[in-house]
Amino acid sequence: MHLFSVFLSFVGGEIVELVLQTGTVAKAVLLFLLAFSVLSWAVILSKWILIKSARRQSVRFLRAFRKANRIQEVASMADQFRPSPLVGVFDGAVAEFKRQMGTTGAVHNPTAVQRAMQIASSEEIGRFESNVPWLAITGAVTPFIGLFGTVWGIIDAFHGLGTAGAATLRAVAPGISEALITTAAGLAAAIPAVIAYNLIIGSIRELASRNDDFTLEMLNLVERQQPQPLSEVQR
């Protein structure tokens, strides 16, 4: 274990030393890549926490919803499951339910309730999708930024070769090291962003599908619901 930590310390020190020895252009490229990487990891962690909480609360909300027989029973406890997008869909249905009950004393247009839930579902999914495109941008752009640093390092290597007048390792090593470092940095920023983007999009699609299923369950409950005074569905 001690030898492994010493090895990591040695490798890390070598990398830091190589970065410090790079030229101005390479340092600028690395700073750009670092900014992209930090922002993408911030998005990854925030979305991971949000989606994890949404999944957990959705399971709990569905369990409570399926045990209830009337809308007001669900409405009285929905707030405690607020991170779940299903609560937003439920709120959209309840708002339309109240409007119809207030005018006619009964739900006369279930299609309007369904449309209200679809709108609420789109808003909830939009909340989960916010900032996710940044991961796609990072995955698409950072390899090219790293490639720019690679090309610049190769140019610098040939320039050093021409200045030295001889094909020696000392002449080309600085440029080659810049090229390899920026290439590695570009890939290090892009690969996690691409993987996370696909995983997050898959999770959001799963939440959207669950919203659609819940919409059907909610419509069944609305159709079973007997006419009642508006005050009974107030929270």
Cβ neighbours of residue 39 closer than 8 Å, sequence gap 6 or more: 134, 138
pLDDT tens digits along 21-44: 666 777 888 899 999 999 999 999
Q: Does the residue 29 lie in any domain?
A: yes
Q: Does the residue 17 lie in any domain?
A: no
The CA distance from 34 to 44, in Å, is 15
Q: Does the residue 46 lie in any domain?
A: yes
Q: Does the residue 3 lie in any domain?
A: no
Q: Does the residue 52 lie in any domain?
A: yes
- Measured between its terminal Cα atoms, the distance across the chain in Å is 59
Which residues in the chain come in under a pLDDT of 70? 1-23, 103-107, 157, 159-175, 225-235
* Residue of 211, 187, 198, 189 whose CA lies nearest to 86: 211
The CA distance from 183 to 235, in Å, is 57
Amino acid type, 173: A
pLDDT tens digits along 102-140: 766 666 777 888 899 999 999 999 999 999 999 999 999
Q: Rounded to 5 degrees, what are φ and ψ at 68?
A: -80, 155
Specify the 3-state DSSP secondary structure of 168. coil
pLDDT value for 14: 57
pLDDT value for 161: 63
Number of domains into which the chain is organized: 1
Q: Does the residue 5 lie in any domain?
A: no
Question: Which domain does 194 fall in, by range?
Answer: 23-233
Q: Does the residue 1 lie in any domain?
A: no
pTM here? 0.78
Q: Does the residue 8 lie in any domain?
A: no
